[in-house]
Amino acid sequence: KIYEDVSDLPGLEHDFIIVGAGAAGNVVANRLTENPNFSALVLEAGVSNEGVIDAIVPFFYANLIAGPNIYEWNYTTTPQVGLNNRSVPYSRAHMLGGCTSHNGMVYTRGSAEDYDRWADVTKDPGWSWDSLLPYFFKNEKWTTPADNHDTRGEFNPAVHSTHGINSVSLSGSRWPVFENQVIQTTREFPEEFPFNLDYNSGEPLGVGWIQSTIGGGKRSSSATSYLGPQYIQRPNLHVLLHAQVSRLLGPQTTKGVVTFGGVEFSQGGSLFTAKASKEIILSAGSVGTPAILLNSGVGDKNALTALGITSVLDLPSVGQNATEQPLTFASWSVNSTQTIDPIEQNATLFDEVYAQWNASHTGPFTNLWATHIAWTRLDASSPIFENVTDPAAGPKTPHIEILVGTGSQSGDEPTGNFISFTMVVLTPTSRGSITLQSNNPFDPPLIDPGTLVTDFDRFATRESIKKAYRFVEAPVWKDYIIAPTVNLLNMSTDALDEFIRNNSSPAAHMVSTAAMSAKDASYGVVNPDLLVKGASGLRIIDASIIPFMPSAHTQAPTYVVAERGADLIKEKWK
Ligand SMILES: Cc1cc2nc3c(=O)[nH]c(=O)nc-3n(C[C@H](O)[C@H](O)[C@H](O)COP(=O)(O)OP(=O)(O)OC[C@H]3O[C@@H](n4cnc5c(N)ncnc54)[C@H](O)[C@@H]3O)c2cc1C
């Protein structure tokens, strides 16, 4: 059941206390309460997702991140050197479902090599691609697209599952003219941009049809799927909203191992304590989880002491190693009326399309703007590799992602037709951090995503722009494209760097702030079983434990971490 008020809860002591009802937290809550003998309480700081139309209609997703609102933590980064010292918004959802309730819904797993690297660094083969594939299948419920179109040749059914929980589908409405342009590019430039039937097969390189966490024309979030009606009625599953966890309480150290007595949270201005008889599980995400640890005295001893926080467990890696992908845009005006722009420019047309969505959950609003994704590598002979070791997990792992779709980049051009590409550096070498500004746990943490700090990331961003322009050099675009909205190709390297610093942003995919490492490693925050090093009864299951950024958007990787994490807990307490 979902509760709004702490006084309605059937008690504050449960087998498991889960902090955060996001991508990971809801998976863990669902899977643990499959056992009727386990009771779980999820503490979520944010508000309900129920009836929030911008979190339901796929095309409206950008509305929730357009500016400060009650569904957001409304964070801002520290000044980013790589962005001309700009402080930029850093979106984190403050609602049931966490960022899966407001994210871009793009469903990408990354490469098999990404996960094999996780297995290598943690010395746990259970984190390899082959071992995790069954967990991707537990998560994913492959679903017919909203328009029921013939999807043969657009994906490989052998690498998908129809028996999971979270809906994933191909686009539910079409842009045939534009889509033909993209597919024709793969024929004209088969070496650089080969067609890939399914980029979620473990071998993403090439151009494939976009897959999204959308089902029946609506967003599928961890709240709508894992807390769906058939699960939320379980008598052993409790979710409390408006409950912001400040810290872990009552540390006791026995033989060098710390155990915490409970979790402190605030609701309506009062503080409460929840207790776990088996485990406390932190699933507050890459920003929230390290912040809670630091506020609890778990982190770098010297830094905490300087803030007046008593050190309980000296784990210098907490909040460090923050890894985030930088993204940049390019757009072109085009000689085609078959783009999303007329719908955004004409209120009557917009209302008609919205009415269609309301009536049948079909039409252009069942989608994102993008139709395909191109995954590509930097050229092996790139000069950057003279000084930098290739950060990709292997030769079948992309460095660059180009999301391609119709519509102007801003969505508010008064007239004209456009196409827009989003370029992402998937394998950044820059690192940032999550730290505290004070010893008040309700002060927002200092968020430094470390965007575009390194030469590699700046080089790869410039290359991602060149690759995007190369894509539209295929002959098929000749009469289609009118002109770039800003000509990035004619710029000097210095001018392009300046453009990038002024226009790039972090992709909101932060990982690794409480990273998993091998049991005997001298760094890291959790062991391969996701238990916090040096603590007992405390586990972390969310994007923060990811040891290396996968060449992907991060919801599918987080879901798979949570599916396996829940199994590790069940194994321990069976
Ligand atoms: C704007 C945006 C767009 C994105 N687009 C995509 C995309 O298209 N595809 C993709 O794969 N990924 C995307 N992502 C990333 C993806 O959504 C995240 O990687 C994923 O949700 C991380 O899951 P998580 O469980 O670690 O954290 P979250 O999903 O963030 O969940 C954490 C939860 O914990 C709660 N919480 C935090 N602190 C506390 C506290 N102190 N007390 C109680 N509760 C707390 C939060 O309110 C939140 O509900 C996007 C992210 C954002 C922000």
Report pLDDT digits (tens) over 499-508.
Answer: 999 999 999 9
pLDDT of residue 69: 95
Ligand 1 pocket residue status of 72, Cβ below 6 Å? no
Q: Which numbered atom of ligand 1 lies nearest the CA of 552?
A: 11
Which DSSP category does 301 fall into? H
pLDDT tens-digit map of 351-405: 999 999 999 999 999 998 899 999 999 999 999 999 999 999 999 999 999 999 9
Q: Which helix (H) or strand (E) holds 537?
A: none
Mutating to test ligand 1, I would choose from 54, 69, 103 the residue with most ligand atoms within 8 A of its C-beta, which is: 103
pTM for the whole thing? 0.98
From the number of C-beta atoms within 10 Å of its C-beta (0-12, 13-18, 19+), residue 386 rates as: exposed
Q: How far is the CA of 528 from the centre of ligand 1 (A)?
A: 22
Q: pLDDT-derived band of residue 326, with 50, 70 and 90 as boundaries?
A: very high
From the candidates 14, 94, 361, 509, give the one annotated as an active-site residue: 509
pLDDT above 80: residue 28: yes
pLDDT tens-digit map of 497-546: 999 999 999 999 999 999 999 999 999 999 999 999 999 999 999 999 99
Q: Answer yes or no: are the C-beta atoms of 527 and 557 closer than 8 Å.
A: no
Mutating to test ligand 1, I would choose from 96, 293, 555, 564 the residue with most ligand atoms within 8 A of its C-beta, which is: 555
pLDDT tens-digit map of 455-484: 999 999 999 999 999 999 999 999 999 999
> Among 492, 375, 435, 351, which residue's Cα sits nearest to residue 113?
375
Handedness of CA 101, 107, 110, 116 (dihedral sign): positive
Ligand 1 pocket residue status of 564, Cβ below 6 Å? no
CA pair distance 425, 405, nearest whole angstrom? 18
DSSP of 463-500? HHHHHHHHHTTSGGGTTTEEEESS--TTS-HHHHHHHH
Q: pLDDT-derived band of residue 410, with 50, 70 and 90 as boundaries?
A: confident
pLDDT of residue 409: 81
Of all residues in the chain, what percent carry a pLDDT higher than 90?
A: 98
Q: ∠235-238-239 over CA atoms, to 5°? A: 150
Atom 41, ligand 1: residue with shortest CA distance: 245
Task: Give the residue-averaged pLDDT of 328-343.
Answer: 96
> Among 237, 192, 181, 214, which residue's Cα sits nearest to residue 1?
237
509 among known catalytic residues: yes
From the number of C-beta atoms within 10 Å of its C-beta (0-12, 13-18, 19+), residue 14 rates as: buried
Task: Give the residue-averaged pLDDT of 112-127.
Answer: 98
Give Cβ neighbours of residue 40 (< 8 Å, ≥ 6 apart): 14, 15, 16, 17, 18, 28, 29, 32, 33, 236, 237, 238
Per the listing, tokens 């690297």 go with 117
104: annotated binding-site residue? yes
Task: Give the residue-averaged pLDDT of 8-36.
Answer: 98
Q: Which numbered atom of ligand 1 lies nearest the CA of 20?
A: 34
Ligand 1 pocket residue status of 434, Cβ below 6 Å? no
| CB count in 10 Å sphere of residue 339 | 23
Q: Which numbered atom of ligand 1 lies nearest the CA of 246?
A: 41
User: How do beta strands 214-215 and 237-240 pair?
Assistant: unpaired
The pair of structure tokens assigned to 83 is 């962005």
CA pair distance 95, 81, nearest whole angstrom? 31
399 among known catalytic residues: no
Q: Which numbered atom of ligand 1 lies nearest the CA of 542?
A: 26
Ligand 1 pocket residue status of 242, Cβ below 6 Å? no
Task: Give the residue-averaged pLDDT of 552-569.
Answer: 98
Q: Answer yes or no: are the C-beta atoms of 554 and 509 closer than 8 Å.
A: yes
> Which of left, alpha, beta for 529 (phi over 0: left; psi -120 to 50: alpha)?
alpha
pLDDT of residue 412: 80
Distance, CA of 110 to chain centre: 12
Distance, CA of 540 to chain centre: 17
pLDDT tens-digit map of 137-175: 999 999 999 999 999 999 999 999 999 999 999 999 999
Ligand 1 pocket residue status of 214, Cβ below 6 Å? no
Q: How far is the CA of 551 from the centre of ligand 1 (A)?
A: 18
Ligand 1 pocket residue status of 244, Cβ below 6 Å? yes
Could you tell me the CA-to-CA distances from 216 to 272, 357, 361 in Å, in that order?
40, 11, 7
> Among 254, 253, 275, which residue's Cα sits nearest to residue 263?
275
3-state helix, strand, coil in the chain (%, to 5): 30, 25, 45
Per the listing, tokens 């994906």 go with 155
Mutating to test ligand 1, I would choose from 74, 267, 509 the residue with most ligand atoms within 8 A of its C-beta, which is: 509
Q: How far is the CA of 543 from the centre of ligand 1 (A)?
A: 8
Q: Which domains does the chain have, with CATH numbers?
A: 2-52+223-322+512-544+552-572 (3.50.50.60), 106-219+326-427+454-503 (3.30.560.10)
Instruction: Write down the mean pLDDT value for the chain.
Output: 97
Give Cβ neighbours of residue 319 (< 8 Å, ≥ 6 apart): 290, 291, 293, 294, 299, 300, 433, 434, 435, 445, 513, 514
pLDDT above 80: residue 236: yes
Ligand 1 pocket residue status of 204, Cβ below 6 Å? no
Give Cβ neighbours of residue 80 (< 8 Å, ≥ 6 apart): 86, 87, 88, 448, 449, 450, 451, 452
Q: Which numbered atom of ligand 1 lies nearest the CA of 108?
A: 11
pLDDT above 80: residue 224: yes
Ligand 1 pocket residue status of 496, Cβ below 6 Å? no
432: annotated binding-site residue? no
Ligand 1 pocket residue status of 43, Cβ below 6 Å? yes
Q: Which numbered atom of ligand 1 lies nearest the CA of 92?
A: 53
Ligand 1 pocket residue status of 98, Cβ below 6 Å? yes
Q: Which numbered atom of ligand 1 lies nearest the CA of 73?
A: 47
CA pair distance 366, 360, nearest whole angstrom? 10
DSSP of 47-60? B--TT-GGGTSGGG
CA pair distance 291, 286, nearest whole angstrom? 9
Mutating to test ligand 1, I would choose from 72, 244, 554, 564 the residue with most ligand atoms within 8 A of its C-beta, which is: 554
Per the listing, tokens 């089902």 go with 215
CA pair distance 161, 496, nearest whole angstrom? 43
Which DSSP category does 32 fall into? H
CA pair distance 566, 495, nearest whole angstrom? 49
pLDDT tens-digit map of 75-88: 999 999 999 999 99
pLDDT of residue 96: 98
pLDDT of residue 443: 98
Which DSSP category does 126 fall into? G
The pair of structure tokens assigned to 408 is 């102007």
| CB count in 10 Å sphere of residue 201 | 17
Of all residues in the chain, what percent carry a pLDDT higher than 70?
A: 100
Q: How far is the CA of 23 from the centre of ligand 1 (A)?
A: 6
487: annotated binding-site residue? no
pLDDT of residue 2: 98
Q: How far is the CA of 419 from the centre of ligand 1 (A)?
A: 28
Ligand 1 pocket residue status of 139, Cβ below 6 Å? no
CA pair distance 435, 447, nearest whole angstrom? 7
Task: Give the residue-averaged pLDDT of 333-344.
Answer: 96
pLDDT of residue 533: 98
Q: How far is the CA of 179 from the centre of ligand 1 (A)?
A: 31
> Among 465, 438, 433, which residue's Cα sits nearest to residue 450?
433
Ligand 1 pocket residue status of 516, Cβ below 6 Å? no
182: annotated binding-site residue? no
Q: How far is the CA of 103 from the centre of ligand 1 (A)?
A: 8
Give Dmax (Cα) for the chain: 73
pLDDT of residue 413: 87
From the number of C-beta atoms within 10 Å of its C-beta (0-12, 13-18, 19+), residue 293 rates as: buried
106: annotated binding-site residue? yes
CA pair distance 215, 387, nearest whole angstrom? 45
DSSP of 438-454? SS-TTSPPEEE--TT-S
pLDDT tens-digit map of 54-66: 999 999 999 999 8
pLDDT above 80: residue 411: no
Ligand 1 pocket residue status of 24, Cβ below 6 Å? yes
